[in-house]
């Protein structure tokens, strides 16, 4: 079975995953830490997501690519760092299609990144289509690592964007 994955925040508090904008008032320290992921990419936080009619940071970001594929590709690209990451494993059927959309990450030009053509409706059965690590991601990892940088883990990987919260109490946890 194909699952969706959400990396467990190092500073996870409680049993509910909240979108970034929702933790702003609940957990201000955690909010500030999570904002660090967007340094140099702050404009993303102001972008609207078509169909869901909300901001980029009003949704949970999930991936259908198994985290083990990501870790393996990073190593193949030359990443020598040893790290262990933990993820929630989520049944794709837990998400309501009306509150979920797929960001394809199919653009070539960055100016087209958040255009409507990059988003498609979500259907749980389609998760398998998004579960393969794109070659563009592997190429990106290699390029950034060769330059001595640290690549963004989910660059060029389709994102499953869920407008809601998730209770993680019963969700399996995997480590890679």
Question: Over pLDDT 90: what percentage of the chain?
Answer: 70
27-57 pLDDT tens trace: 999 899 888 888 888 888 888 898 899 999 9
Strand, helix or coil at 140? helix
Q: What is the pLDDT of residue 115?
A: 64
pTM for the structure as a whole: 0.91
Q: Decide: residue 36, CB within 10 A, 0-12 exposed, 13-18 middle, 19+ buried.
A: exposed
pLDDT tens per residue across span 147-163: 999 999 999 999 999 99
Mean pLDDT of 95-115: 78
**Residue 22, SS3?**
helix
Q: The tokens of 7 are what?
A: 């990396």
Segment 125-135 shows an average pLDDT of 96
- The domain segmentation of the chain, as residue ranges, is 4-175
């Amino acid at each position: 079975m194909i699952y969706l994955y959400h990396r467990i925040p190092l500073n996870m508090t409680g049993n509910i995953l909240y979108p970034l904008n929702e933790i702003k008032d609940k957990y201000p320290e955690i909010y500030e830490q999570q904002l660090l992921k967007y340094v140099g990419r702050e404009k993303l936080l102001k972008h609207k997501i078509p169909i869901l009619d909300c901001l980029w940071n009003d949704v949970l970001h999930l991936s259908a690519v198994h985290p083990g594929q990501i870790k393996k590709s990073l190593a193949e690209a030359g990443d020598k760092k040893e790290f262990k990451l933990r993820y929630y494993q989520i049944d794709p059927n837990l998400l309501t299609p009306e509150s979920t959309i797929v960001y394809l990450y199919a653009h070539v030009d960055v100016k087209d990144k958040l255009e409507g053509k990059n988003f498609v409706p979500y259907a749980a059965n389609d998760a398998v289509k998004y579960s393969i690590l794109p070659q563009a991601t592997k190429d990106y990892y290699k390029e950034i690592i060769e330059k001595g940088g640290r690549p963004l883990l989910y660059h060029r990987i389709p994102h499953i964007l869920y407008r809601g919260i998730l209770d993680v109490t019963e969700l399996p946890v995997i480590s890679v």
